[in-house]
Chains A and B, each alone.
Chain A
Amino acid sequence: MTNNKDKTLLDNSGVDKTGVDKTLGEVLRSQGVSRRSFLKFCAATASMMAMSPAMIPKIAHALESARRPSVIWLSFQECTGCTESLTRAHTATIESLIFDFISLDYHHTLQAAAGHAAEEAREAAMKENDGKYLLVVDGSIPMDNPGYSTIAGISNYDMLMETAKGAAAIIAVGTCATYGGIPHADPNPTGAVSVGDLIKDKPIINVPGCPPIPVVITGVLMHFLTFGTIPELDHIGRPKVFYGQSIHDRCYRRPFYDKGLFAETFDDEGAKKGWCLYKLGCKGPTTYNACATTKWNDGTSWPIEAGHPCLGCSEPDFWDGGGFYKSLSMPTENITQTAIYTVAGAAAAGVALGAMNKNKKSSAVAAHNKTTIDDLEK
């Protein structure tokens, strides 16, 4: 991933003051929002973007002159959980202001138009804002048979490639768009790939999670609007402000891990005392996300606080991690059987594991049985 920090992607020059070209300051003032309210908005935004409160005046200055960007949102092989997460964001007032501000020109789940009318809206937005619009993608792209997922008769691949061409930047939202997610899980029946697998010539911000934390989605949008650049990213394209530290490092149960105090089952003394969930399969040590501080459901709680181990949903291939309830230190598969497949000619252990899972799937199909979690964990 190239470092695009210094490159301004939002070109705000030479635009008039009508329609989408109003600045955020002008939009807010026209809605009767006071300067004091705007300061509150900036304070909440700084907190949302995990920035130092010292940045609040800079955010206020930048946002006042930020112009309304056109956003095209494409949904491919997904469950709509990412959109659900975003539209149920708990900072309702702030998010609604942000969404009043952006011009969401295409989102086939949320928009009223359908079919040709919707596609025309997308094409019009692409033409009018060529080189300047933000492209948000949720869902993976099937590369096996394009018929697995189409929109208005257009394959996901064609729609992505066509729409990405004129985008200033792409935000891949959710683990499906960022790393293939659940559709990509072994044996990957649709040949699902991520946005980053297909697009190599545009800045891509990966916002993984199943779903991602809503304020992380809006935080990334706000960063782009505030600074006109993409935030600093880690080695797999995630903004470091939200994904810079592991769940384990920020976990309030960490002191128990350090003392060697673990819950062994979900109802033992350790579980009741709130001890570390590592032995129950917690993927916190290998998972990078902001859940431990940002939390979920109006900031009420998060999985580990509710007594459940982290599933590692913001990491690539989390679904194939060897079992949600197996601790990280346990081998992920039956090693003897894996070795047999490897010796039998498979090039790598990964291929062997894939072959084993494919076998499970075909046996299940042959027996007309559904493949269950128990089957996969055997």
Chain B
Amino acid sequence: MSNSTSVQFNIQVGDDLTHNVKPLLNEIKHGLDNLIETGRTTIIDLRSLPLAPGEEEKILNTLGQGEVQAQLNALGLSEVTETQYAGVWIVTHYNDEQHIISRFIEVTTMPEILCSQTEDVMEAYSRLTLDLADNP
């Protein structure tokens, strides 16, 4: 487009357009309270809420970034980030084309997807045993 600076979008990114930003942040606070009191994990699916353009970014910006950032390569990329509020994680799954397929806020000490899974550990044991047998 020759004059891209003059393009006007017909979407206004207002403050609290759907009024869902603050309640969601409060839900996260309740999740933290639950985690402290009972150790219970809370997972929020960001796709299940109506959010106006810009509101998801607003939530993510409010939560900020903490000490841990991890990338998984499992059926496409996944990013797991601890926010500035310890115990509040953003888990984003991408497909092969780098499009977001789901995004969760997990209130937990460690998102399940980061842990080594028993089945994979068992499979790893068998594989290493075979490798060692092949290359004594």
A residues adjacent to B (C-beta < 8 A): 33-37, 39-41, 43-44, 46-48, 50, 52-54, 56, 90-94, 97, 250-255, 271-274, 292-294, 298-299, 305, 307
Minimal Cβ-Cβ distance residue in B for A50: B48
A-B CB proximity, top 9 nearest:
A53-B43, A35-B117, A252-B52, A37-B74, A47-B102, A35-B119, A274-B12, A91-B101, A250-B50
Mask for B97-116, Cβ within 8 A of A = 1, else 0?
Answer: 10111101000000011001
B52-106 at interface with A (beta carbon < 8 Å) = 52-53, 55, 72, 74-76, 78, 91, 93, 95-97, 99-102, 104
User: B10 at interface (Cβ–Cβ under 8 A)?
Assistant: yes
- B18 at interface, CB cutoff 8 A: yes
A39 touches B117 (CB 8 A): yes
- B50: chain A residues at CB < 8 Å are 250-252, 254, 292-293
The docked-state distance in angstroms from the alpha carbon of A251 to that of B11 is: 13
Q: Are A40 and B10 in contact (CB under 8 A)?
A: no
A93 near B95: Cβ-Cβ < 8 Å: yes
Q: How far is the CA of A90 from the CA of B101 in the complex (A)?
A: 8
Contact across chains for A305 and B53 when beta carbons are under 8 A apart = yes
CB of B19 closer than 8 Å to a CB of A: yes
Give CA–CA (A274, B52) in the complex, Å: 10
C-alpha gap A302/B101 in the complex (Å): 16
A92 adjacent to B43 (CB under 8 Å): no
Enumerate chain A residues within 8 angstroms of B11, measured Cβ to Cβ: 274, 305, 307
A167–B47 CA distance with the chains assembled, in angstroms: 33
A36's partner among B10, B55, B104, B117 (CB-CB below 8 A) is: B117
Tell me the B13-69 residues at the A interface (CB within 8 Å).
Answer: 14, 17-19, 43-45, 47-53, 55
A53 with B104: CB separation less than 8 A: yes
Tell me how many residues of B have a C-beta within 8 Å of chain A: 42
A-side interface mostly? helix
In the bound complex, CA of A37 to CA of B75 (Å): 6
B96's contact among A48, A93, A272, A298, by CB below 8 Å, is which? Answer: A93
Tell me the bound Cα distance from A136 to B106 in angstroms. Answer: 36
Do A252 and B93 touch across chains, with their CB atoms under 8 A apart? no
Given contacts A53-B44, A94-B95, A293-B47, contact A36 B17 (CB under 8 A): no
Whose C-beta in chain B lies nearest to the C-beta of A252? B52
Question: Can you list 26 A-B pairs, Cβ within 8 angstroms, ordered by A?
Answer: A34-B74, A34-B123, A35-B119, A36-B113, A36-B120, A37-B75, A40-B72, A40-B74, A41-B75, A43-B104, A43-B113, A47-B47, A47-B101, A47-B102, A48-B102, A53-B44, A92-B97, A93-B96, A94-B75, A97-B75, A252-B17, A272-B10, A293-B50, A299-B47, A305-B53, A307-B11
- Do residues A274 and B120 form an inter-chain contact, with CB atoms below 8 A? no
Q: A35 — which chain B residues lie within 8 A by C-beta?
A: 117-120
Contacts of B74 in A (CB 8 A): 34, 36-37, 40
B6 at the interface (CB under 8 A from A): no
The answer for the CA separation of A253 and B11 in the assembled complex, in Å, is 10
